[in-house]
Amino acid sequence: MRGLLARRMRFHLLGAFLVSAGASALFKFGVAEPRKRAYAEFYKHYDPAKDFEAMKAAGVLESAPPK
């Protein structure tokens, strides 16, 4: 029984560290990187002036009424 707490705590701390490192790596490469690529691809071909004109023509903007 002597040293049981320290031995089990060392085991659980190592396990918790490995699980958290794995979860963070999984999130980074499974969610964050694809999201960054998707945003980069969207803004590569995005034209804000064209989008503004489309919203203006649709009457979405109160400050710029359609003509």
pLDDT surpassing 90 at residue 65: no
- The per-residue pLDDT for range 25-44, each reduced to its tens digit, is 999 999 999 999 999 999 99
Tokens of 66: 């359609």
Instruction: Say whether pTM exceeds 0.75.
Output: no
Tokens of 63: 């400050």
pLDDT surpassing 90 at residue 1: no
Half-sphere exposure of residue 52, counting CA atoms within 13 Å on the CB side? 5
**Alpha carbons 16 and 18: distance in angstroms, whole number:** 5
Which pLDDT score, from 0 to 100, does residue 20 have?
Answer: 98
**Structural domains of the chain, with CATH:** 4-58 (4.10.93.10)
